[in-house]
Amino acid sequence: MKNVLRAILILICAAVVAPNLPVNYFTVTGGDRLLYSCPMPNGYSFVTTYIHSLELTPVIDDYRFVGGRMWGWEEWTKSLNAGMPSVSSPYTRTIMTPEWIITRGGRRSGLIYYRVGTEEFGRNTWTLEPWEEIKIFEKYPMYRMAFETSAMPFRKAAITGFEENHAR
Whether residue 85 has pLDDT greater than 60: no
- Residue 156: which pLDDT band, with cuts at 50, 70 and 90? very high
- Residue 111: which pLDDT band, with cuts at 50, 70 and 90? confident
Strands (DSSP E) along 31-159, which ranges? 33-40, 44-52, 57-66, 69-77, 93-96, 101-104, 111-115, 125-127, 144-153
Please name the helix (run of DSSP H) or strand (run of DSSP E) that holds residue 135, with its range, or none: none
- Residue 164: which pLDDT band, with cuts at 50, 70 and 90? low
Dihedral sign from CA coordinates of 130, 132, 133, 134? negative
User: Given strand 33-40, what is the order of strands in its sheet?
Assistant: 33-40, 22-30, 144-153, 111-115
Total-model pTM: 0.81
Burial-class residue 51 by CB neighbours within 10 Å (0-12, 13-18, 19+): middle
As separate numbers, helices (DSSP H) first and strands (DSSP E) second, the chain gives: 2, 10
